[in-house]
Amino acid sequence: MGRIEEYKLIREALARFEKAKQSKNAYNVTQVAGGSRGKGSSAFIGRQVHRELWSTDPDQIVNLDAVSLPFPLAWQFRFGWVIGIPDLVTFRDAQPIEVIEVKSYDNIGNAEARQASLYGLLVQLNFHTRPRVYVKTLRDKFEIEEWEDIAINTLLSFAARLERREKHAQDE
């Protein structure tokens, strides 16, 4: 792909995120992953940074050989939108090559792997490329090898939970 195509994909991804934020059926990656919301010491700061991140400039990504930054992502599935901002998406030659979810604690589990995997899937759907997916803790950086399977299973599980909740609400 040339830089013009990457620029277009970046603009489309940002527009998709803005559209998804307005939807009544938008679910945050953390919510879909089923993890607790922000249990690390820097959770408050991280949420604040993500909330104020509306200045993502496609030119910054396209004009640099490599850059890592939080990047807003969204994709629409049958049940609704999945939205989120991974801590870091690394772009090389304007193409996303890795997703890094940073945690301020060392005890990571399945919820963190599901969260990072969903971000990997959102990158793949938005940019038509397979990134490497990591969770970085205070002491280590773990690659999530089978992130596609984890992401798909997480989406299926979440969709089933929504369906059960809807059925339960109808029964009442």
Taking only the tens place, the pLDDT of each residue in 51-72 is 444 457 788 899 889 999 999 9
Four-point Cα dihedral 84, 86, 87, 90, nearest 10: -140
Dist CA 10 CA 17 (whole Å)? 11
Q: pLDDT-derived band of residue 45, with 50, 70 and 90 as boundaries?
A: very low
Q: pLDDT-derived band of residue 168, with 50, 70 and 90 as boundaries?
A: confident
Taking only the tens place, the pLDDT of each residue in 75-99 is 999 999 999 999 999 999 999 999 9
- Give pLDDT, residue 167: 81
Taking only the tens place, the pLDDT of each residue in 7-20 is 999 999 999 999 99
Supply the pTM of this predicted model: 0.87
17 Cβ contact list (under 8 Å, min separation 6): 72, 73, 74, 83
Give me the phi and psi of 136, to 5 degrees please. -110, 125
- Give pLDDT, residue 92: 95
Dist CA 71 CA 66 (whole Å)? 14
- Give pLDDT, residue 93: 93
122 Cβ contact list (under 8 Å, min separation 6): 29, 73, 74, 75, 82, 84, 86
Taking only the tens place, the pLDDT of each residue in 130-166 is 999 999 999 999 999 999 999 999 999 999 999 998 8
Closest by CA to 74, choosing from 114, 2, 26, 113, is 26
Q: Tell me if residue 116 falls in helix, strand or coil.
A: helix
Terminal-residue alpha carbon distance, the chain = 53
